[in-house]
Structure formats: C-alpha cells, structure tokens
C-alpha cells in the first residue's frame, strides 16, 4: 500500500481518492503534461469544428441561394439537397466516431495519468 493511501474501509470498499487542493489544481494546470493534453484536444477539436461549421453553412447557403442547383434531380425523386442533407448526418456521426478514437488513443491515457497523480496526492 502506498504510504499516503488510506486504508480500506470497514466494509472492504476501496478508500476514497485524495481530494486535491486548489493549489494542486493550479500546479497541475501549469504542468507540461496538462499543456500536452490541452494541445492534443485542441489540435483535433478546433479544426474539425471549423470544418463542420463551414460545411453546414455551405449547405444552408446553397439551400437558400442556389435553389436550382439543390433541386437538381440525381435519380428518381432524389435531388442534390436530399443527398447533401443526409451527408450532414453522416459527417456528424463520422466526426463523433473519429473523436472517440482520438480520445481513446491520445487524450484518455494522458488524462488518466493526470487524474492518478492528482488523486494519489503526488
């Protein structure tokens, strides 16, 4: 057992984690590891957010100002507007899936290391 770990409770449950102080949070926020975590998140989230907003606004603007183009029949009753509208849903799910993979591979391990250090009182 670590020297600063609490002993197990009487009912056999794990001890409560160390509650970090405000100073510990501020020190962690200034740490290089936390900076790397923020950079890893921002370098993924911001570009994808901007790209999706541009894609969404392009769809809205095309719908409003390029009615003839959006009404172009592709096959049967399926037109460009319907295909692009459904593509909005597809890109939303793809971005969520990509972010989930990115978080599991890059963010979660770094966040878990910071959390363990903070809760361990190190």
Q: What is the pLDDT of residues 7-34, one digit of tens each?
A: 555 566 766 677 778 888 888 888 899 8
Q: Is 113 inside a domain boundary?
A: yes
Total domain count, the chain? 1
**Cβ neighbourhood burial of 122 (10 Å; 0-12, 13-18, 19+):** exposed
Q: Is 65 inside a domain boundary?
A: yes
pTM of the model: 0.72
pLDDT (tens digit per residue) in 41-85: 999 999 999 999 999 999 999 999 999 999 999 999 999 999 999
Alpha-helix runs per DSSP H in the chain:
22-29, 32-65, 67-70, 80-102, 108-120
Q: Is 99 inside a domain boundary?
A: yes
Q: Is 85 inside a domain boundary?
A: yes
Q: Is 49 inside a domain boundary?
A: yes
- pLDDT > 60? residue 3: no
- Note the pLDDT of residue 7: 53
Q: Is 12 inside a domain boundary?
A: no
Closest by CA position to 111, among listed 28, 16, 6:
28
- Note the pLDDT of residue 1: 44
Q: Terminal CA-to-CA distance of the chain, rounded, Å? A: 14
Q: Is 60 inside a domain boundary?
A: yes
> Residue for token digits 């449950």?
13
Residue 99 belongs to domain spanning: 22-120
């Amino acid at each position: 057992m670590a020297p600063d770990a609490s002993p197990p409770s009487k009912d056999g449950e794990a001890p409560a984690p160390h509650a970090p102080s405000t100073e510990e949070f501020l020190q962690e926020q200034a740490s290089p590891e936390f900076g790397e975590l923020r950079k890893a998140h921002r370098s993924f989230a911001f570009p994808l957010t901007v790209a999706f907003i541009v894609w969404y606004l392009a769809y809205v603007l095309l719908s409003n100002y390029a009615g003839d183009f959006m009404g172009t029949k592709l096959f049967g009753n399926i037109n460009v507007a319907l295909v692009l509208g459904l593509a909005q849903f597809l890109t939303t799910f793809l971005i969520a899936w990509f972010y989930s993979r990115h978080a599991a591979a890059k963010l979660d391990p770094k966040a878990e290391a910071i959390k363990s250090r903070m809760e361990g009182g190190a």
